Amino acid sequence: SAVISQKPSRDICQRGTSLTIQCQVDSQVTMMFWYRQQPGQSLTLIATANQGSEATYESGFVIDKFPISRPNLTFSTLTVSNMSPEDSSIYLCSVEKDFSGSGELFFGEGSRLTVL
Amino acid sequence: DAKTTQPPSMDCAEGRAANLPCNHSTISGNEYVYWYRQIHSQGPQYIIHGLKNNETNEMASLIITEDRKSSTLILPHATLRDTAVYYCIVMGGGSNYKLTFGKGTLLTVNP
């Protein structure tokens, strides 16, 4: 299994500011993913964070708005830049279980962001 | 990735089996069926996955039809703690585990 810690668990931010969310895993993992869950909606993949290379963004998400860092195999950050109320969501970090290729992913508890 | 269709909601009595259906009629030969669930205010939790054979683990059983166009997740003895949104996801091995979540089924287990 994998234990994933996200910080902050929740925050209230002002329009136009930026917030960085941290994801710490208790073991080394190859692939880390960042998801967004808007109120009452399902999860949407933002990007895949690969160690040692640029993150790979999904359609509709850009690096300027959601810069991601992946400095090592246990840590990643997602920044939500120049926030607007539409960015109010839960942001979730996810990791692949191991290198077995099972496709079993572990998720953090999420970071609930409210933008005023 | 193939799309899936699930009923938006289901009810189940506590202690009874919960059978959650999923249609994935356009599934490809190398795509697996995954089930995750999300309990309120928590991150999603992996339940089970399979290719074409039925699978069982400590949480649930997965029944995949012979033509692989549909599947059923079975919680053998549902408890109140099983109340959650259940997501059926089809994903190929070459997709680098990029899960595409649909709307899922809200299962409500009633006392």
Residue B51 Cα to chain centre, angstroms: 13
Q: Which residues from chain B sit within 8 angstroms of residue A101, using beta carbons?
A: 93
Q: What is the pLDDT of residue B20?
A: 98
Q: Which residues from chain A sit within 8 angstroms of residue B91, using beta carbons?
A: 103
**Average per-residue pLDDT in chain B?**
92
Express each pLDDT in A69-104 by its tens digit: 999 999 999 999 999 999 999 999 999 866 556 678
Question: Mean pLDDT, to the nearest integer, of A26-55?
Answer: 90
Q: What is the pLDDT of residue A53?
A: 82
Nearest to A21 by CA among A78, A103, A76: A78
Question: Mean pLDDT, to the nearest integer, of A21-41?
Answer: 92
Indicate the SS3 state at residue B80. helix
Name the band, by pLDDT with cuts 50, 70 and 90, for residue A105.
confident
Cross-strand pairs, B35: B48, B88
Express each pLDDT in B62-90 by its tens digit: 999 999 999 999 999 999 999 999 999 99
Q: What is the pLDDT of residue A29?
A: 86
Cβ–Cβ below 8 Å for A43 and B101? yes
Q: What is the pLDDT of residue B2?
A: 57
Assess whether pLDDT exceeds 80 at residue A58. yes
Assess whether pLDDT exceeds 90 at residue A46. yes
Question: Mean pLDDT, to the nearest integer, of A38-45?
Answer: 93
> Measured between CB atoms, does B87 come within 8 Å of chain A?
yes
Mark out chain A residues that contact chain B at CB-CB < 8 A. Answer: 4, 31, 33, 42-45, 48, 58, 92, 94, 96-97, 101-110
Assess whether pLDDT exceeds 80 at residue B95. no
The type of residue at A114 is T
**Average per-residue pLDDT in chain A?**
92
Q: Which residues from chain A sit within 8 angstroms of residue B45, using beta carbons?
A: 107
Distance from CA of A81 to the nearest CA of B (A): 23
Strands (E) in chain B, as ranges, are: 9-13, 18-23, 31-38, 45-50, 55-56, 61-64, 70-75, 84-92, 105-110
Scanning A28-98, the segments in alpha helix (DSSP H) are none
Q: What is the pLDDT of residue B100?
A: 86
Cβ–Cβ below 8 Å for B43 and A94? yes
> Measured between CB atoms, does B100 come within 8 Å of chain A?
yes
Q: What is the pLDDT of residue B1?
A: 53
Who among B42, B97, B100 is closest to A105 (CB)? B97
Q: What Rg, from alpha-carbon coordinates, does chain B have?
A: 13
Distance (Å, whole) CA B85 – CA B105: 5
Question: Mean pLDDT, to the nearest integer, of B52-65?
Answer: 95
B107 or A27: whose pLDDT is higher? Answer: B107
